[in-house]
Amino acid sequence: MGVHPCLLGMVVAGLLAGTAVCAQEPTPRRADFAGQSASADAHYVAQWALDHADNRQLPYVVVDKRDARMFIFNPSGQLLGSTPVLTGLAVGDHAAADVALREPSDLRPHERTTPAGRYVSEPGRNLGGEDIVWLDYAAKLAIHRVRADSSEAQRLLRLASPTPEDNRISLGCVVVPVAFYERLVRPVLGKSLAVVYILPDGQPAREVFHRAPAASYAQR
């Protein structure tokens, strides 16, 4: 019968110093969805962020475009809340090459994508003075509320529908219900930096988020 390594260490240490302490390995952190339904890709990325310390001890967000859903986690991976979202009209994981030089309303329907990837978000304001959460300022990509304009009623209906297929309607931004924005987005993402992961449409998430980040990548 073999000797447990911890017991063996106690014996050796006891012989040398008369006392011994068996060190405990830290318990791995687990992303906790609090029982809410989520895709396998959402579970994978939420855990990947913790396993690689990629969220830099910041709150983090998983946006699942296929399921039209957003999950907000605290720095330790505990779910703070989730909501249906609206995303870009077009299926696709890349922005138009000249998106920084154009107004979002000038994008053609097939260019109105919500680009996949990792973003370090920052609270800010748009040109109209509305407080929003910037994902990519140059590309005019942000998280914001449903706006009180001529499209409001249609967008609320799409958010309330039971299927995600009709949630692709925005110019590219991630749009959330006003109540959710005020309850959770503003106090969590609207106060400091956070990390936002937008899952891809065209490939498994583990092909986009699959290894520990390089030093330069992790510092942003």
| pLDDT tens-digit series, residues 117-149 | 999 999 999 999 999 999 999 999 999 999 988
d(CA 77, CA 49): 9
Q: Look at residue 28 in the predicted model and tell me its pLDDT.
A: 65
CA distance 71 to 62: 5
Helix, strand, coil shares, percent, the chain, to 5: 30, 25, 45
What pLDDT sits at residue 40?
Answer: 97
**pLDDT value for 199:** 98
Say if CB 52 and CB 37 are below 8 A apart: no
pLDDT, tens digit, for every residue of 34-63?
Answer: 999 999 999 999 999 999 999 999 999 999
Q: Which of 43, 44, 79, 41 is nearest to 60 (CA)?
A: 79
- 38-75: b (≥16 Cβ within 10 Å) or e: beebbebbbbbbbeeebbbebbbbbbbbbbbbbbbbeb
> Following DSSP, what letter does each residue of 119-170 receive, concatenated?
EEEEEEE-TT--EEEEEETTTTEEEEEPPSSTTHHHHHHHHHSSSSGGGEEE
Question: In the predicted model, what is the mean pLDDT of the chain?
Answer: 87
* Count of C-beta atoms within a 10 Å radius of residue 3: 9
Of 35, 80, 79, 87, nearest to 63 by C-alpha is 87
**DSSP state, residue 46:** H
Give the lowest-confidence range in 71-75, 176-180, 183-187, 210-214.
210-214
Is the Cβ–Cβ distance between 118 and 214 less than 8 Å?
A: no
